[in-house]
Structure 1
Amino acid sequence: MKKVALLLSKRSVLLLLVYIIVATSWIFITDQLVQPVADNSDTAYLLISLKDWIFVVVSGLVLVYFASQKREAQQDLASTERKYQKLFQHSSDGIMLTNPNGAILKVNPAGCRILGRKEEEINELGREGITKNNEKMQEALRRREETGHFSGELTFIHKTGKPIPVELTSSVFHTEGEGLQTSVIFRDITDRKEHERLLQEQIRMRAAIMEVGAKALEAGKLTSFYEMLTQEMTTLLDARRTQLFRFTEDSGVQLLANSPPLEKSPAYGHEFADLQTINTPQIIQPDQLQPLTQRTSDSSVSYGVIIPGDSGPLGFAAAQYADNYELNTNDELFLKAVAHIISITTARKQAEQQLQQSLDEKKTLLSEIHHRIKNNLAVISGLLEVQALETEDEQVRFTLHDSQQRIQTIATIHEKLYQSSTLAEVGTKQFIEDLISSIHDTQNPGTQQDISYEMDIEDISLDMDQAIPLGLIVNELVSNTYKHAFEEQKQGHVTIRLETKDNTIRLQVTDNGKGLPENFTLQQSNSLGMNLIQTLTHQLEGKLEYQNTENGCEFTVTAPLPH
């Protein structure tokens, strides 16, 4: 505004100088015109009078022009001042005029409202009294001093002492006669900062919910899960204490977990009917969060949310705060999410426990079945042994011993099955080694044959459908070495190999006996043992091969490896 007045005054001076020059020139020129007729008094008088009148008229016009220009300048200046004053007074942003040294010259109403003070108070306090003097403020002053401008976020102090985050723009300018001044335009961004904080808190809460959900999937025992959950709740909700309760069948409540640990919960041990008398019916509404006043010695309030279940409420989760605390939206969201996580995890764990209990019962039953089958087969084997002792027919005795050994093989498999952890699979290594030992002890009792064994057995897990046929094949092949390969020998050696390769299982039994008869074929063999080997190989969907070697014979069975 002062710049406008300054420009107007300069223009007036310039016009005045022009007027003086014109007026001086006019007087000089008219004096030169009047000079030749100076002797003629009438003419000279007329010219002088005309000259004076013209000068007076022109001077008057100039004065009128100057007066109108001044009035217009004053009107423009007043209009501009009104506009700036209106903008200053009615701006929703705070505006201050200050000196670079921190003295405050003027503050608009919006600035006073933001700071909660009158203009006189703000002027008296100065910059130091209304700002938080920290590194951020010092950096802002340094940048404004270097560049003449600053834009950014700073912190002002409300009259109540509450910090006010503001978005601020400040510039340095020069005024005629008053030197350097600064303009400060600022806006209260408390709401925006609160929204940003709530957004970040919401993101943090959602991440926490996902983390708690992930931990729920990995949870072991429910007691450990409840303890972990209350610890997480106390930390994330910044509560004095968090607690989990369940409703009992006798309409009571039981404390499941609390953090920090408490020897006795204020609500623990009370009947639920008693709790209803101290403002608890509200929490029984599903998905609603209501305050629950507990019996505490200190002044506090707990916010509880129901834990839903398929057949009714399971219990409730509660967070304890100071009496004047109000739960925010994010805390409420977390508590509700925790309640549903507890509901889902509890139901899942209970289903797992029921399933495990059922599996344990079936495992016990299956183990008992295998044990009884083994015992029943042992009884049958014993009966065959008694029958063999009573008969005098050597061929019958051998036949009974063969049947006894086959039954003993099946019994050994059932013994291994009920001893295994799964009750469904048996390891081939220990099973075949025990089977060979049993064959050695039972074949040709009373003979002086010295038969040695070499075993290279890969430990393969087989179920009963594969283990019994394979075990019977081993029994027949090894028993045949006693009856045929070493029939005329006192010493012998048998090699048993079992391995897997390319999804197939390969059994090979080799001896150094007398070998197979010349022109031997399985089709022509009327031996029960050989027919049994062929049948069992077919049952395994396998292939049987045999050949004589340099020192005996070799049988090989290959079959697909069970999936």
Structure 2
Amino acid sequence: MGRIGETDLADRLAPSGRGALLVQLSFGLLITGLAIGLRAVIDAIAPAAGPFSLGFPAVLIATLFGRWQAGLLTGALTLLYSWYFILPEQHSFLLKSPDDMGRLVLATINYAAVLLIAELFRRAVRRATQERDRELAERDLFLAEFDHRVKNNFTLVAALLDMQRRRTKDAETQEALSSALTRVESIARAHRHLYRGGAASPGNVDMAVYLEELSAALAEALFLRGAITLHCVCDHAALPRDRAVSIGLIVNELVTNAAKHAFAGRESGRIEIRFETAAPGWLLSVRDDGVGLPAEPKPRKDGGLGQKLVDGFVRQARGTATTETGPLGTKVTVALEA
């Protein structure tokens, strides 16, 4: 019901204020014409039945959508019409019975009451709408400021990690800082998608766009150009931010691991990221055509941190991971719940 009161034809058709009265009077005449037309149909079935009854909804509608001016015009015209054409004597303003004067006065009072109530309701809804719009504008301003600060924080953290990576001479430290940098950038990219305003719905991230941009950034960061290529094939799906971040970090870890270890002794290779809709949820897969995993994995310099992170991110994304490996390459598939 509140949305009915929000519709103001004068605001919509004459937003500058010029011509507002013309819109109100035109709408009042339109409602009056409809009421009189309906009255003629009723008179064909039951002549003189309820002479003032149609005036009440007509005044109500005219006031709610066209303000009190339209309601007043509609009430006056429908009242005069009923007086002249329906009450006896018909086609005359003379009243045949003294009781008709009482009916006329009572109808006038009721029309005025309907107009007053409808106008008060319309104004109350209008005030509530303006207050709501003001609060929404303040919230949007706050979110924009918050978004800007978070972006700056991500940029600052990434810049500090990159600066430290460039300064250090130790290869292992450089590798660790590079991994941390790509993880931060993956989270920052999901954040940008969340607040960009083009999401499928508030709080969600379009996974196709997100993973395609993530793969492009990984290709640039890992120098996957020419000989080793990175491909991304994704279905569009709107997922909550937290799950999108976890999936992005899974992809980050798996692609980084494949780029570093899958093509040992080779100059060319292909890494493919797929995100597909599969009932009852989605399938994420990262495949490479490298040398496959060794039967007895060597101890990692990072103590297996990458694999632990993948396992943790898979749990956060509400998924189950399986790995297939052989001399033709490795494929990691994560089945995600709906």
CA–CA distance in structure 1, aligned partners of residues 152 and 202 of structure 2: 16
Distance 1:350 1:458, change over 3 A: farther
Amino acid in the other structure paired with 1:394 = A
Percent same amino acid at aligned positions?
A: 26
Counterpart for residue 70 of structure 2: 231
Amino acid in the other structure paired with 2:231 = E
| 1:424 aligns to 2:203 (yes or no) | yes
Counterpart for residue 377 of structure 1: 154
Q: Which digits, 9 at most, give the CA deviation of each residue in 1:301-348, with x for residues without a partner? A: xxxxxxxxxxxxxxxxxxxxxxxxx95433432332232122222212
Counterpart for residue 82 of structure 2: none
Look up the SS of the partner of 1:537 in the other structure.
helix
Distance 1:339 1:232, change over 3 A: closer
| Equivalent pair of 1:428/1:460 in contact (CA under 8 Å) | yes
CA–CA distance in structure 2, aligned partners of residues 231 and 212 of structure 1: 5
Distance 1:345 1:541, change over 3 A: same
CA–CA distance in structure 2, aligned partners of residues 390 and 333 of structure 1: 85
CA–CA distance in structure 1, aligned partners of residues 60 and 278 of structure 2: 46
| 1:358 aligns to 2:197 (yes or no) | no
Amino acid in the other structure paired with 2:208 = K
| 1:441 aligns to 2:280 (yes or no) | no
CA–CA distance in structure 1, aligned partners of residues 60 and 78 of structure 2: 20
Counterpart for residue 473 of structure 1: 250
| Equivalent pair of 2:324/2:330 in contact (CA under 8 Å) | yes
CA–CA distance in structure 2, aligned partners of residues 550 and 331 of structure 1: 93
Look up the SS of the partner of 1:238 in the other structure.
helix
Of 226, 232, 238, which residue of structure 2 is paired with 1:461? 238
CA–CA distance in structure 2, aligned partners of residues 395 and 404 of structure 1: 14
CA–CA distance in structure 2, aligned partners of residues 536 and 237 of structure 1: 71
Question: Structure 2 regions of 5+ residues with no counterpart?
Answer: 1-45, 80-102
Q: Which digits, 9 at most, give the CA deviation of each residue in 1:13-58, with x for residues without a partner? A: xxxxxxxxxxxxxxxxxxxxxxxxxxxxxxxxxxxxxxxxxxxxxx
Amino acid in the other structure paired with 1:436 = S
Equivalence map 1:284-363=2 (5 Å): 328-363=105-140
Give, in angstroms, the shift of residue 403 of structure 1: 0.4
Counterpart for residue 58 of structure 2: 208
Q: Which digits, 9 at most, give the CA deviation of each residue in 1:236-264, with x for residues without a partner? A: 53079xxxxxxxxxxxxxxxxxxxxxxxx
Distance 1:230 1:377, change over 3 A: same
Distance 1:360 1:560, change over 3 A: farther
Equivalence map 1:225-304=2 (5 Å): 225-226=65-66, 230-231=69-70, 233-238=72-77
Look up the SS of the partner of 1:495 in the other structure.
strand
Q: Which digits, 9 at most, give the CA deviation of each residue in 1:420-466, with x for residues without a partner? A: 2566222212211111111111125xx87633233221222223222
Give, in angstroms, the shift of residue 405 of structure 1: 0.5
Distance 1:555 1:233, change over 3 A: farther
Given the two structures, how large is their TM-score scaled by the length of structure 1? 0.43
Amino acid in the other structure paired with 1:459 = H
Of 451, 465, 482, which residue of structure 1 is paired with 2:228? 451
Amino acid in the other structure paired with 1:433 = E
Distance 1:458 1:360, change over 3 A: farther
| 1:527 aligns to 2:304 (yes or no) | yes
Q: Which digits, 9 at most, give the CA deviation of each residue in 1:163-220, with x for residues without a partner? A: xxxxxxxxxxxxxxxxxxxxxxxxxxxxxxxx96361431x2344366558xx4xxxx
Of 50, 54, 76, which residue of structure 2 is paired with 1:199? 50
CA–CA distance in structure 1, aligned partners of residues 232 and 263 of structure 2: 19
Amino acid in the other structure paired with 2:55 = M
CA–CA distance in structure 1, aligned partners of residues 282 and 60 of structure 2: 47
Question: Structure 1 regions of 5+ residues with no counterpart?
Answer: 1-194, 217-224, 241-325
| Equivalent pair of 2:211/2:232 in contact (CA under 8 Å) | no
Look up the SS of the partner of 1:201 in the other structure.
coil
Distance 1:517 1:549, change over 3 A: closer
Structure with greater strand share of residues? 1
Give, in angstroms, the shift of residue 383 of structure 1: 1.1
Structure with greater helix share of residues? 2
Given the two structures, how large is their TM-score scaled by the length of structure 2? 0.69
Give, in angstroms, the shift of residue 517 of structure 1: 2.0
Distance 1:384 1:344, change over 3 A: same
Distance 1:404 1:353, change over 3 A: same
Amino acid in the other structure paired with 2:150 = I
CA–CA distance in structure 2, aligned partners of residues 463 and 367 of structure 1: 19
CA–CA distance in structure 1, aligned partners of residues 51 and 121 of structure 2: 27
Distance 1:408 1:379, change over 3 A: same
